[in-house]
């Protein structure tokens, strides 16, 4: 018996399909797909969530000083003339950041190998790239799902059958996070 389903695709297509569906599942909370795909996506997603649960508190808070450009009331950088050149004025600001410990950093990189980057686009069109923002799914895994499933030993997803698809009669299911 094989270790995984081939899903009628070449290996690169299959990998892309599974990565795409795992990303969609973790971003949206549920997806509708075929039963065979759902079972493969479930394996990958549960592995990522288990990794997030294991490493959720594995960081340290560190204070760092950073050079931040000074801005005026309109949000534009303040410039001053030095030796005949316009130079941006910087302020030193002390910030507190989370620094991953080595095992959490490794877990983060393992997750990034599977997940695609997600860009959130607003509903109302306000220009082509205006108000779009990158969603950090790895941070969502650690902060949201890691805390949510901390007291649970596996079984983070649920498959609900919704009946055969009209075109090819493939069994469709809803794969959702519990």
DSSP 116: P
pLDDT, one tens digit per residue, over 63-82 is 999 999 999 988 889 999 88
The reported pTM is 0.84
Topology of domain 11-57+102-177, CATH: 50s Ribosomal Protein L17; Chain: A, (3.90.1030)
d(CA 14, CA 4): 11
Task: Name every residue whose Cβ is closer than 8 Å to that of residue 12 and which is 6 or more positions away in sequence.
Answer: none
Distances (CA, A) of 168 to 29, 118, 134, 161, 165: 26, 31, 36, 16, 6
Tokens of 40: 């493969």
Place of tokens 């069109």: 125
Query: How many other β-carbons are positioned within 10 Å of the β-carbon of residue 65?
Result: 9
What is the rounded average pLDDT of the residues 8-15? 97
* Domain spans in the chain, listed from the N-terminal domain onward: 11-57+102-177, 59-100
pLDDT, one tens digit per residue, over 83-108 is 889 999 999 999 999 999 999 999 99
pLDDT, one tens digit per residue, over 121-159 is 877 776 667 778 899 999 999 999 999 999 999 999 999
The H-assigned helical ranges of the chain are 11-28, 35-55, 102-114, 137-140, 146-148
């Amino acid at each position: 018996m094989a270790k995984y389903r081939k899903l009628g695709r070449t290996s690169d297509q299959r990998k892309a399909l599974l990565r795409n569906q795992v990303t969609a599942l973790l971003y949206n909370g549920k997806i509708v797909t075929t039963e065979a795909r759902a079972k493969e996506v479930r394996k990958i997603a549960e592995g990522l969530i288990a990794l997030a649960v294991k490493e959720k508190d594995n960081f340290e808070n560190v204070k760092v000083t950073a050079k931040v450009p000074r801005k005026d009331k309109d949000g534009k950088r303040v410039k001053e003339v030095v030796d005949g050149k316009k130079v941006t004025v910087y302020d030193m600001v002390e910030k507190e950041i989370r620094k991953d410990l080595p095992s959490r950093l490794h877990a983060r990189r393992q997750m990034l190998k599977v997940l695609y980057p997600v860009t959130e686009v607003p509903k109302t069109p306000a220009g082509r790239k205006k108000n779009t923002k990158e969603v950090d799914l790895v941070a969502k895994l650690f902060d949201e799902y890691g805390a949510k499933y901390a007291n649970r030993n596996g079984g983070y997803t649920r498959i609900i059958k919704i009946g055969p698809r009209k075109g090819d009669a493939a069994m469709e299911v809803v794969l959702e996070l519990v």
